[in-house]
Amino acid sequence: MSGKNTKVNFNLSNPIQFLALGFGSGLAPKAPGTFGTLAAVPLFLLFSDFPPLYYAILVLLVCLSGIYICGKAASDVGVHDHGAIVWDEFAGFFITMFMVPVSWQSVLVGFILFRVFDIAKPWPISIADKKLTGGFGIMFDDVLAGLFALIIMHLIF
């Protein structure tokens, strides 16, 4: 089965699916990626005071674990990159905000920039989204979107 918005039954009591669904935020009936990114904001704020090295290690762990988490959740429901799977949005937003001074303005701009790149998928993000499969494919386009947004964030802030 394929399709980002195909109806499937996720199981929030399954820890992998709970994480993949962004603690349930990905089950929003409209704009699950946006709700997933919104759910990432409080976690980002919790970790934003980490020294850069510790924050980078955390982001790396989120990305690497996301390959398994997203791939397993997609496999469980038989849908590659289902819209409700939003762990990749957490990773992308965390990347967007790396070493950016924290203020409500920077969080808002980072949120908007990441969502724009994640939704619009300019080249090469679009290539990654179309060509890569499995958990790596689910994660990588959002990692790229986060990197694009990060560059602009550092130009702005």
Query: Which tens digits make up the pLDDT trace of 139-150?
Result: 999 999 999 999
Q: Give the pLDDT confidence score for residue 63 in this predicted structure.
A: 98
- The runs of H, that is alpha helices, within 15-133 are 15-20, 32-47, 52-77, 87-96, 104-120, 125-131
| Domain annotation covers residue 147 | yes
| Residue 90 located in a structural domain | yes
pLDDT for position 7: 77
pLDDT tens digits, 117-130: 999 999 999 999 99
User: Does residue 93 sit within a domain?
Assistant: yes
Q: pTM here?
A: 0.94
Taking residues 80-84, report their average pLDDT.
92
- How many separate domains does the chain show? 1
- Name the pLDDT band for 1 (thresholds 50, 70, 90): very low
**2 within domain boundaries:** no
- Does residue 11 form part of some domain? no
Identify the domain containing residue 73 by its residue range.
29-155
The pLDDT of residue 89 is above 60:
yes
Residue 95 lies in a domain: yes
* 146 within 8 A of 96, measured Cβ to Cβ: yes
- pLDDT for 4 equals 59
The answer to whether residue 22 sits within a structural domain is: no
CA angle 149, 123, 26 (to 5 degrees): 55
- Please report the pLDDT score of residue 8 as a whole number: 82
